[in-house]
Chains A and B, each alone.
Chain A
Amino acid sequence: MASSTPAAPAAPPELRHHFASLEAQKEASSLGMWIFLVTEVLFFGGMFTAYAIYRETYRHAFEGASNLLDLRLGAFNTVVLIVSSLTMALAVWASQQGRTRLLGLFLVLTMTLGTTFLVVKYFEYAHKFENHEVPGPHFVVPLDEATHQLLPRQSEMFFSLYFCMTGLHALHMIIGIGLLLWLLRKALRGDFTVRYNTPVDMVGLYWHFVDIVWIFLFPLLYLLGRHTL
């Protein structure tokens, strides 16, 4: 494993100078992305901890407030993200096969699904603003759907966490769509071959992770109070 000596064959253009081989480079990239995802687990994890503590403390308020979220939109978004995970996995597969047109198609599909998710989210947020369910000075304590009584004041805490958690998730989706656009551009330029598709793989890992976060957000935010209905 010598560094570049005069007689060695020309290194592939994707190989960065400090790596011994494309294999080593791919291994390092993959480990790096997984470690980054670890930081994301802990990043979201802080909010999940806050959620867990307050949910136990204000159980009734949280259950009632959760029922005010639109379950159909939440479930629809969950399906959208699952399909987008499939199309992302297929995009990675296509890049491994060197099939650029198929790769481009799946990237576009994934982006479209991601954008759909964000559009739905926008409508959900807008609805909250209209109903004065946004925490802060304009918050109005809503009515419990089941009993039509006023919910406890701490329902505001549920909405604080709802906006922070889904907001951070949405921000990650936006970044993900940006990364997909970048991938699309590179793909159309022919940068990805059977031998080298690492960026597609890495963005795929990121995208799947963002899906996993939603997989936990959906039941915790949308479903926790349904059994009281």
Chain B
Amino acid sequence: MNTPTPSSGQRVHYLNASYGVRSWLLTIDHKRIAILYLIGVTVFFAIGGIAAALIRLELLTPAGDVFQAETYNKIFTTHGVMMVFFFMIPGIPAVLGNFLVPLMIGARDLAFPRINLLSWYLYIIGGLIALWAVVHGGLDTGWTFYTPYSTVYSNGWVVVTAVGIFIAGFSSILTGLNFLVTIHTMRAPGMTWTRMPLFCWGMYAAAIIQILGTPVVAITILLVGAERLFHLGIFDPAQGGDPVLFQHLFWFYSHPAVYIMILPAMAVISELVTAFSRKPIFGYKFIAGSSIAIAVLSFLVWGHHMFVSGQSVYAGLVFSVLSFLVAIPSAIKVFNWTATLYKGSVSYQTPLLYALGFIGLFTFGGLTGLFLACLGLDIHVHDTYFIVAHFHYIMVGGTIMAYLGGLHYWWPKISGKIYPEYWSRVSAWVIFIGFNLTFFPQFIVGYLGMPRRYHAYPEEFQVLNVMSTAGASILGIGYLIPLVYFIWSMRYGQDAADNPWGATGLEWQTSSPPPTENFEDTPVVTGRPYDYLTGRGEEAAVG
């Protein structure tokens, strides 16, 4: 692995410190591992995106004329499994979190660098196993694996897919573990909890969920596999089992899981909003506290996925009330971001365009979440496209926008290059327009009664479905453009300064890209975070 260092005159940093496939596949540098994850999540996103394209293709016409019903079921299952477990859950934590957390707290690496690499391998192995199942015929249960269909009657690759997800779950747990220990024990001298960037607070809160929630879905998936292989009957009514128990155990994780997806996104938005308003964030402690509150409360609301399952009405009532409550910390964050922008010196560069898109779309999707928390209304729209639209507004309009915004904001730090500003704005607008055209019509058809997970639908819904498919095509193009220019920028982009945005934060106090050990000397923190007004803030004894 000790390959020749670059020719004299060129600065050594983490990207050129060593060359060769082995130096990447055996790296323990958190920044390289972040890049490895970036490649991985992009590939799985593409696979999930192809599945989405096939779904929208089928839904162009009311009749189920492109795919047979069972094939269509396999396609939307692939879309869900790939997107949820192999893109959304790892996404921001594994890519941006891995890269930035040590830098932001002034550390040289995460607490357990080798476990970090193991996390990546587990992720890839899990993904390949799940992909094997897709290629060999797929799974038709939906990403939610409801029993007893998944354990007894399905003809798809249940056990193989379950194994893939189980292994990826371990990856998620280890990443969360790494972040928790790192943030607790490796902050630079002077970086108290309230001087830590809000990005780290968000990663911390998401890590809590990863630790406490993932094991429950892991054991549930194991039980599903065991039931299918050994005919155990734990969730099969024919043998005395209760399918609703499966749903309880499954959603105990899967609801907090969506907060694993959104908390890191909110963490990114906090950073973007303050940097591009050139103003300290409004309500730092409220945003930090809200992150923790969301992490805890998210574990108490899972029954709102089960209002029509046969669970008791009284349990449903309690879940409904708690689901309304969990919206409050999210709303607090939106108010604080808005207050930060207010009277700030706002510059509308691409990362902020994504952040503004997030704030609008997440709020919109979140409000529809309140509709769903309402027990009576949810019964009407459960298993319709209203639900599909709701969660895509949050996950795509929210999380993916934040992911792209963060990727643009920190791209100079990660790659040492500047992306082309014109094309980045074009793609931001294409994505925003494509997204809304795709998913807004789905609220309408859902409310009017179009069910989800069916390959055919009544004719009166066709116009809106065609709009949605048109939007999806535009959205797909919008995602391709950054892929092209990011890669282009690595070769032809302008070199980036250490701090091209003039932002606060320890990650901007070191070079772009950073050296392998992150900082020449350990930084010492003396001031408040986001100290745009006085200009005092972190100091780093940078060589």
B212 touches A58 (CB 8 A): no
Known interface pairs A1-B189, A18-B113, A53-B245. Does A43 touch B219 (Cβ–Cβ under 8 Å)? Answer: yes
B243 vs chain A, min Cβ distance (A) = 12
B249 touches A39 (CB 8 A): no
A50 touches B186 (CB 8 A): no
A50 touches B189 (CB 8 A): no
| A38 in the interface (beta carbon within 8 A) | yes
Contacts of A17 in B (CB 8 A): 108-109, 517
Partner of B177, one of A3, A32, A50: A32
A136 touches B181 (CB 8 A): no
> Interface 1/0s, chain B 92-107, versus A by CB < 8 A?
0000000000000001
A50 touches B240 (CB 8 A): no
Binds B, one of A68-76, A152-160, A178-186: A152-160
A216 vs chain B, min Cβ distance (A) = 15
| A175 in the interface (beta carbon within 8 A) | no
Known interface pairs A24-B185, A27-B185. Does A135 touch B231 (Cβ–Cβ under 8 Å)? Answer: yes
A39 touches B211 (CB 8 A): yes
Known interface pairs A31-B181, A58-B240. Does A164 touch B226 (Cβ–Cβ under 8 Å)? Answer: yes
> Interface 1/0s, chain B 469-510, versus A by CB < 8 A?
000000000000000000000000000000000000000000
| B334 in the interface (beta carbon within 8 A) | no
| A123 in the interface (beta carbon within 8 A) | no
Partner of A42, one of B180, B216, B245: B216
Contacts of A153 in B (CB 8 A): 239-240
Known interface pairs A35-B180, A154-B240. Does A3 touch B232 (Cβ–Cβ under 8 Å)? Answer: no
A3 touches B249 (CB 8 A): no
B214 touches A157 (CB 8 A): no
A25 vs chain B, min Cβ distance (A) = 9
Which chain A residue has the least Cβ–Cβ distance from B231?
Answer: A136
Known interface pairs A1-B522, A36-B177. Does A42 touch B212 (Cβ–Cβ under 8 Å)? Answer: yes
Of residues 43 through 64 on chain A, the ones whose CB sits less than 8 Å from some CB of chain B are 43-47, 49-50, 53-54, 57-58
Contacts of A136 in B (CB 8 A): 230-232
Which chain B residue has the least Cβ–Cβ distance from A158?
Answer: B240
Known interface pairs A28-B111, A157-B239, A164-B223. Does A43 touch B218 (Cβ–Cβ under 8 Å)? Answer: yes
Partner of A46, one of B110, B239, B249, B521: B249
Contacts of B177 in A (CB 8 A): 32, 35-36, 39
Contacts of B220 in A (CB 8 A): 46
B232 touches A40 (CB 8 A): no
- Cα separation A201 to B245 with both chains bound (whole Å): 38
A18 touches B109 (CB 8 A): yes
Which chain A residue has the least Cβ–Cβ distance from B248?
Answer: A49
A32 touches B111 (CB 8 A): yes
Of residues 103 through 147 on chain A, the ones whose CB sits less than 8 Å from some CB of chain B are 135-137
Contacts of A31 in B (CB 8 A): 180-181, 184-185
| A7 in the interface (beta carbon within 8 A) | no
Which chain B residue has the least Cβ–Cβ distance from A160?
Answer: B232
Contacts of B519 in A (CB 8 A): 3
- Cα separation A154 to B107 with both chains bound (whole Å): 56
A113 vs chain B, min Cβ distance (A) = 27
Contacts of A54 in B (CB 8 A): 240, 242, 245
> Interface 1/0s, chain B 204-242, versus A by CB < 8 A?
000000011111101110110010001111100001111
Which chain B residue has the least Cβ–Cβ distance from A39?
Answer: B215
B237 vs chain A, min Cβ distance (A) = 11
A38 touches B212 (CB 8 A): yes
Contacts of B249 in A (CB 8 A): 46, 49-50
- Cα separation A135 to B226 with both chains bound (whole Å): 11
B521 touches A3 (CB 8 A): yes
Give the dominant DSSP class at A's interface.
helix
Interface size on B, residues (CB 8 A): 46
- Cα separation A57 to B241 with both chains bound (whole Å): 10
Which chain B residue has the least Cβ–Cβ distance from A138?
Answer: B231
Partner of B240, one of A38, A45, A137, A157: A157
A2 touches B522 (CB 8 A): yes
Partner of B242, one of A38, A43, A46, A53: A53
- Cα separation A38 to B215 with both chains bound (whole Å): 9
| B381 in the interface (beta carbon within 8 A) | no
| B112 in the interface (beta carbon within 8 A) | yes
| B306 in the interface (beta carbon within 8 A) | no
| A161 in the interface (beta carbon within 8 A) | yes
> Interface 1/0s, chain B 233-262, versus A by CB < 8 A?
110000111100100110010000000000
Known interface pairs A28-B185, A53-B245. Does A156 touch B239 (Cβ–Cβ under 8 Å)? Answer: yes
A22 vs chain B, min Cβ distance (A) = 13
Max count, chain B CB within 10 A of own CB: residue among A44, A154, A157: A157
- Cα separation A19 to B108 with both chains bound (whole Å): 8
B223 touches A47 (CB 8 A): yes
Partner of B234, one of A2, A27, A36, A160: A160
Which chain A residue has the least Cβ–Cβ distance from B541?
Answer: A2
- Cα separation A83 to B475 with both chains bound (whole Å): 63
- Cα separation A156 to B236 with both chains bound (whole Å): 12
| B173 in the interface (beta carbon within 8 A) | yes
- Cα separation A47 to B234 with both chains bound (whole Å): 10
> Interface 1/0s, chain A 168-210, versus B by CB < 8 A?
1000000000000000000000000000000000000000000
- Cα separation A140 to B219 with both chains bound (whole Å): 27
- Cα separation A36 to B177 with both chains bound (whole Å): 7
A46 touches B219 (CB 8 A): yes
- Cα separation A40 to B177 with both chains bound (whole Å): 13
- Cα separation A135 to B231 with both chains bound (whole Å): 7
A142 vs chain B, min Cβ distance (A) = 15
Which chain A residue has the least Cβ–Cβ distance from B115?
Answer: A32
Contacts of B230 in A (CB 8 A): 135-136
Binding site for B on A (CB under 8 A): 1-3, 16-20, 24, 27-28, 31-32, 35-36, 38-47, 49-50, 53-54, 57-58, 135-137, 153-154, 156-157, 160-161, 163-164, 168
User: Could you list 15 examples of A-B contacts with CB < 8 Å?
Assistant: A20-B522, A24-B186, A28-B184, A31-B184, A39-B177, A40-B215, A42-B213, A46-B219, A50-B223, A135-B239, A154-B240, A156-B233, A160-B234, A164-B234, A168-B219
Known: A3-B521, A43-B215, A54-B240. 14 other contacts (CB 8 A): A18-B108, A28-B111, A28-B182, A32-B178, A36-B177, A42-B212, A43-B219, A47-B219, A49-B249, A50-B234, A53-B245, A156-B233, A161-B234, A168-B222
- 9 residue pairs, one from A and one from B, having the closest CB atoms: A46-B219, A43-B215, A42-B215, A18-B109, A154-B240, A136-B231, A160-B232, A18-B108, A39-B215
